[in-house]
Structure 1
Amino acid sequence: MLVSRGAGPLRCIFTKLNQSNLRQGTQPIRKGHDAVWTYRQPVPPPPKYVRVLAECVGGYMWWWIFWHLWHEPEHITGEFEYPDPSKWTDEELGIPPDDEE
């Protein structure tokens, strides 16, 4: 009974050993993660839906920027009017009077 149960695993072990002896000195072939290897070749273009999605997202981004620049320019220019520096006095600027030593 034990011999009949062990025949399958023994056969599997012997076939693996014979296959490894045949392939001695060769490097195993590795095909992992469906990676596209592009050695000295141009990268393959992305699928059409990726290009369309990228264009849509980029268009939405620029619409968002220009919309807010047009309707809320204070984010860039500031909320208040810039003061005229020619109207500032020496005292406001912290400059001492000329006759003081």
Structure 2
Amino acid sequence: MSKTTNKFSPEVRERAVRMVSEHRADHRSEWDALVSIAGKIGCTAETLRRWCRDDAGRRAEPAALADDDRARLKLLEREVKELRRANEILRKASAYFAMAELDRPGR
């Protein structure tokens, strides 16, 4: 069992991340904005940075693959499936011929 507790609700996290993006222009760097906002909500700047990174990753996932990338991925997955099937057939054939070789009388 973890000794850490989840002190901040998802709503507070979302608001803090939104505040960072809204007030980024008011500060010299993103880190300055993180430090400022983290102090206001009572978390560390590193925690807030992690929330921002996680949020950016969640938003980027659905849009990450364009239609042509999806088509290519589907094609590659189909090819991998066919190659695995072919490897299985070759593995079985190899075992069959190895057994036949062992059953053959000596030369």
**TM-score normalized with structure 2 length:** 0.34
Question: Normalized per residue, which structure has more helix?
Answer: 2
TM-score by length of 1: 0.36
Q: Which has the higher contact order (CA 8 A, sep 6+)?
A: 2
